[in-house]
Structure 1
Amino acid sequence: MSDTTQGVPFDARALTEPVDPADSERFARELAKRYPRMNAGAFVIIVIMLGLAVTGAIITFAFAAAFGGGEPNGANLLALVVAAAIAGVILWAFRTHRRRQRERQYRLDRFARANGMSYVPVVKAPPLPGMIFGVGRERRAWDLVRGDAPRFVEFANYQYTTGSGKHKTTHTWAYVAIRLDAPLPHIVLDALGNNSIFGSNLPVGFDADQRLSLEGDFDRHFALYCPEGYEADALYLFTPDIMARFLDNAGQLDVEIVDDWMFLYTRRRISTLDPATWAWLFSVVGALIGKLDQWGRWRDDRMAVGPRPVAGGVARAFTASAAVAPPEQGVAAPGRRLKRRFSWAGVVGIGIAVVVFLLEVMGNVD
């Protein structure tokens, strides 16, 4: 991944340069071969809509023939023309949407290649451990841009659905996923600057007893949560220079460290054709990556496994001279996940939904 902060030119020309339609069409065909099911949903929708328009036209013509003496009258002919026009508009809108989508995907692919990365159009239910990935259903990430050096980084838009019927809601997020050198304790930095008057915008809440206060201005910008008993470890990880990097570069992003991943979350789309957005993202990641190597040296003392055999055979493993093993890479069970907060708001919401459902059922019965 190229980065202006590391002396490698940031190349955003592909996001704005003119695109030859033939090139984008050719790229679309290549994507269709690699991801044959990618466009299945869109084609199903257009077939259904066109089918409804054609069915309406046929019914209108049949009605006119049956009740108009075998000949359609002017009103019915007008209805037929309208139905045909609707079908034409639907087809035109679909083709326009597909052309713009293909151009966007082609631009993002060229942009990714120009910066030493790769492009993936869509991933359903990405198998990532972050808090936004285990919520709801119909989970998918799209317009993924990935890089492998100096460490794996993935930029993507993301959405999932909760509720059903009139209460169905689609939640839109975007994330940056950065692979770490080793598993770390579960730590969340809730950016206070992007919260609403109702509190945190995160999809889950965490027990307030796990909040850790840090020095300086950090607490004015982030609420940091770490597992109980891991306060000293959090202080080891979030040294003053690390905190300064987060304050200067990621003050409007929510951050989650879980297993061997760090996630940066935002509600705005980040995988776009806007060069300014990408310049900001590259600068954020470049600033943080430069400090992540020191996290790879962290070890959880709770992972010590006791006596370890030394050279000389199995018999010496049980003697007093056996060596004591240093901590292994990993996190002990108490530090792997934060305790989630019991949400009265969620209970009240479920109760209201149940009451509304019962009232609707009773109304139908009457």
Structure 2
Amino acid sequence: MTVTFDDTALRAPVEPALARQESRERVAREGRRFGVVLGSGWVVFQSVVLVVGAGVLAALAVVAVQFMFGADGADATTFILAALMVAPLAVVRIRSHLRGPRDREVEEYRLERFAAANGLTYRTGELDPQRPAALFGVGTSRVASDIVAGPAPRPFEAANYSFDTWVARARMPHVANYAAFDLQSPLPALTLVTKSPGVAASGWEPTPPQERVAFDGDFASRFEVFTARATEEPVRHLLSPEVQAALMALAERSDIEIVGDRVFVLSRRHLPMAEPAYWEWVSDLAALVSVLEARGRAEQPAGLPDADSARRTRREALFAAPKGGRAAAMGCLVPLLVGLAAAALITKITTG
């Protein structure tokens, strides 16, 4: 049976001043004031370096065009055009700094009230969280954020997560979302790795002694299955056609790890936890875990609430790419091309 969360708090309008006040009180209560200031300062520093660096590259590109059309070198036009070329990037970064904290305050405000309305607990973050899934043993700077936990629809915990890995001296940031559910009956340890196109690299791998197990059919094109040799047969029994269909319907873009007495559904990106569709998905995942348990007990799994096309559409939207990314890129690229064309035209006119 699927439990429905009360998502009224996620849909209700928010008074920005109240959200800001509560955020400041929460930061002071949790002793995070220095960290917030330091983090904000670091983001501003990164933006300044990015804009200045882009300005230098723009100036070099303008100079190169000017040389191509007969100019003797850089002049005032070079720096004016370079500044105009990077102005949209600077505007985007400034707007991000102004809107980002406000949006974050609203998310915390809504999640805190959502948790209270559903008998759940909410924490804004946890450094270096210790969980049994392989994800939590990889990399550095490990942080879980927006941690929501509770006893229903079964004992669970959900959060966004970030960590860094290193290739030589290059830092590789990774993000994820996890929903972990307690099991009421044991299941064999296994890892399912999604093969869905467009999903980011995971940054983590199945832990030894697990190794790849071959499956046939459509399921094999959606997931890779890993388990130890000793549990291969129980895993094959568990992943019946009905269970495979449920996994493909609800978690095609996520990895799944069964370890100890918990099931972890791991998505390779941050998910919008203040959206009602996220909690609709969490309730469906809890039903999926019940299907796994039923199959593990050799019982007939109950059906999943996946026949609702609107529900599927809302779930797919959770994993959709951010809408503003391509528009922002084009907004920065067009001034670059216009600036280079202007440099060529101005140089041609002034040099005769």
**TM-score scaled by length of structure 1:** 0.58
Find the counterpart in structure 2 of residue 225 from structure 1: 226
Q: How far, CA to CA, are the matches of 2:120 and 2:276 in structure 1?
A: 16
The more displaced of 21-30 and 257-266 is 21-30
Find the counterpart in structure 2 of residue 280 from structure 1: 281
Find the counterpart in structure 2 of residue 131 from structure 1: 134
Alpha carbons 1:157, 1:173 under 8 Å: kept: yes
Alpha carbons 2:243, 2:291 under 8 Å: kept: yes
Q: Secondary structure at the match of 2:258?
A: strand
Q: How far, CA to CA, are the matches of 2:42 and 2:256 in structure 1?
A: 42
Q: Map 1:71-86 to 2 at 5 A.
A: none
Query: Measured at CA, do residues 203 and 46 of structure 1 come closer, stay the same or move farther in structure 2, by a change above 3 Å?
Result: closer
Query: Measured at CA, do residues 231 and 16 of structure 1 come closer, stay the same or move farther in structure 2, by a change above 3 Å?
Result: same
Q: Deviations over 1:207-257 (max 9, x none)?
A: 899322346532222111110121122123323332222122112211111
Q: How far, CA to CA, are the matches of 2:185 and 2:163 in structure 1?
A: 29
Q: Map 1:184-199 to 2 at 5 A.
A: 184-194=187-197
Query: Measured at CA, do residues 115 and 49 of structure 1 come closer, stay the same or move farther in structure 2, by a change above 3 Å?
Result: closer
The more displaced of 224-233 and 41-50 is 41-50
Find the counterpart in structure 2 of residue 105 from structure 1: 108
Deviation at 1:163, TM superposition (A): 2.5
Find the counterpart in structure 2 of residue 290 from structure 1: 290
Residue-pair matches, total: 251
Q: Deviations over 1:273-293 (max 9, x none)?
A: 33334433433x143133244
1:44 to 38, 48, 54: 38
Q: Secondary structure at the match of 1:133?
A: helix
Q: Map 1:215-364 to 2 at 5 A.
A: 216-283=217-284, 285-294=285-294
Query: Measured at CA, do residues 91 and 246 of structure 1 come closer, stay the same or move farther in structure 2, by a change above 3 Å?
Result: closer
Q: Deviations over 1:52-92 (max 9, x none)?
A: xxxxxxxxxxxxxxxxxxxxxxxxxxxxxxxxxxxxxx999
Q: Deviations over 1:141-192 (max 9, x none)?
A: 1012222124221221111112289612211111111122356443111111
1:174 to 160, 177, 180: 177
Q: How far, CA to CA, are the matches of 1:228 and 1:165 in structure 2?
A: 34
Find the counterpart in structure 2 of residue 20 from structure 1: 15
**TM-score scaled by length of structure 2:** 0.60
When Rg is computed on C-alpha atoms for both structures, the one with the higher figure is 1
Query: Measured at CA, do residues 91 and 215 of structure 1 come closer, stay the same or move farther in structure 2, by a change above 3 Å?
Result: closer
Q: How far, CA to CA, are the matches of 1:222 and 1:21 in structure 2?
A: 43
Query: Measured at CA, do residues 290 and 13 of structure 1 come closer, stay the same or move farther in structure 2, by a change above 3 Å?
Result: same
Structure 2 portions without partners, runs of 5+? 45-92, 299-352
Deviation at 1:206, TM superposition (A): 6.7
Alpha carbons 2:191, 2:206 under 8 Å: kept: no
Alpha carbons 1:181, 1:295 under 8 Å: kept: no
The more displaced of 266-275 and 121-130 is 266-275
Alpha carbons 1:180, 1:292 under 8 Å: kept: no
Q: How far, CA to CA, are the matches of 2:145 and 2:256 in structure 1?
A: 20
Alpha carbons 2:247, 2:288 under 8 Å: kept: yes
Alpha carbons 1:190, 1:200 under 8 Å: kept: no
Q: Deviations over 1:24-73 (max 9, x none)?
A: 24532552355223x431223557899xxxxxxxxxxxxxxxxxxxxxxx
Q: Map 1:195-206 to 2 at 5 A.
A: 201=202, 203-204=204-205
The more displaced of 253-262 and 10-19 is 10-19
Alpha carbons 1:190, 1:255 under 8 Å: kept: yes
Q: How far, CA to CA, are the matches of 1:104 and 1:233 in structure 2?
A: 42
Q: Secondary structure at the match of 1:149?
A: coil
Find the counterpart in structure 1 of residue 152 from structure 2: 149
Alpha carbons 2:128, 2:143 under 8 Å: kept: yes
Alpha carbons 2:127, 2:144 under 8 Å: kept: yes
Structure 1 portions without partners, runs of 5+? 51-89, 299-366
Q: How far, CA to CA, are the matches of 1:180 and 1:100 in structure 2?
A: 35
Identify which of structures 1 and 2 has the higher relative contact order when contacts are C-alpha pairs closer than 8 Å and 6+ apart.
2
The more displaced of 202-211 and 98-107 is 202-211
Q: How far, CA to CA, are the matches of 2:42 and 2:222 in structure 1?
A: 49
Query: Measured at CA, do residues 28 and 211 of structure 1 come closer, stay the same or move farther in structure 2, by a change above 3 Å?
Result: same
Alpha carbons 1:15, 1:107 under 8 Å: kept: yes
Q: How far, CA to CA, are the matches of 2:259 and 2:42 in structure 1?
A: 43
Q: Secondary structure at the match of 1:123?
A: strand
Q: How far, CA to CA, are the matches of 1:31 and 1:123 in structure 2?
A: 14
Find the counterpart in structure 2 of residue 84 from structure 1: none
Q: How far, CA to CA, are the matches of 2:148 and 2:240 in structure 1?
A: 30
Tell me which amino acid in the other structure corresponds to 2:166. Answer: G
